[in-house]
Amino acid sequence: MYQLTDEMADTFVKNLKNNTIQYHQFYNTDISAEENNLLLFNQLYKENTEMKRLNKTYYDIEVINDQDEFPDPEKHKFPVNSIATYNNIKNESVIFCILKNTNIVDEHEIYDGIITLYNKLIVDNDKYEVPNMKIRLLKFNTEEEMLAAFWEYLKE
């Protein structure tokens, strides 16, 4: 077994301090550690050189609130009547809603309103670039059904 003596360690430290040897020489190459690691990374992952996109889903929960207060998100004081989501990988918005507590009975009227709002806020706005986003409207009879479907969607 090879033993590092105190004299060898002192010589090593002295050579580092006076730049006789460089840190990148520990990788048995004549390039910097950063370049060496980049080469190793490219060799290991040459089949998949494209960086992966983080899969993010944004959501907005709406509640039925006939009181003059902003709902506390940590307390379930008011019933949930809709959840709007957007997923960046699928480029899709899914709207979960309960229609029984609204004056609107025709789901096409709701869908048309969503498309109109999307066009006004996203398509016609130069600040956003979300081309060809898919929009789905899912309707439910109860809050429990809607929340269960929402959680299943998040697990996809």
Say what the pLDDT of residue 33 is: 67
- Cβ(36)–Cβ(24) under 8 Å? yes
Are 142 and 99 part of one and the same domain? yes
Are 133 and 70 part of one and the same domain? yes
Is 77 within the bounds of a domain? yes
Are 40 and 61 part of one and the same domain? no
CATH code, domain with 145: 3.30.420.10
Model pTM score: 0.60
> What mean pLDDT do residues 105-118 have?
78
Say what the pLDDT of residue 149 is: 95
Q: How far apart are CA 58 and CA 46, in angstroms?
A: 32
Is 61 within the bounds of a domain? yes
Name the residue with higher pLDDT: 141 or 48.
141
Say what the pLDDT of residue 43 is: 73
Are 63 and 130 part of one and the same domain? yes
Q: What is the span of the domain harbouring residue 75?
A: 57-155
Total of domains in the chain: 2
Q: Output the six-digit token pair for 31.
A: 């390039």
The DSSP 8-state label assigned to residue 131 in this structure reads T
Q: Output the six-digit token pair for 90.
A: 């699928």
Is 49 within the bounds of a domain? no
Is 99 within the bounds of a domain? yes
Beta strands in 15-133, from DSSP E residues, in sequence order: 57-63, 80-87, 92-98
> Which residues partner with 86 through β-bridges?
58, 93
Instruction: Count CB-CB contacts under 10 A for residue 31.
Output: 13
pLDDT tens by residue, 49-92: 566 778 889 999 988 888 888 888 788 888 888 999 999 889 89
Spatial CA neighbour of 58 closest among 26, 83, 37: 83
Say what the pLDDT of residue 29 is: 52
Is 51 within the bounds of a domain? no
Spatial CA neighbour of 92 closest among 124, 58, 54, 140: 58
pLDDT tens by residue, 139-155: 898 999 999 999 999 98
Name the residue with higher pLDDT: 154 or 131.
154
Are 70 and 27 part of one and the same domain? no
Which amino acid type is present at position 62? Answer: E
Are 38 and 88 part of one and the same domain? no
Are 24 and 65 part of one and the same domain? no
Are 40 and 64 part of one and the same domain? no
Say what the pLDDT of residue 24 is: 55
Are 37 and 65 part of one and the same domain? no
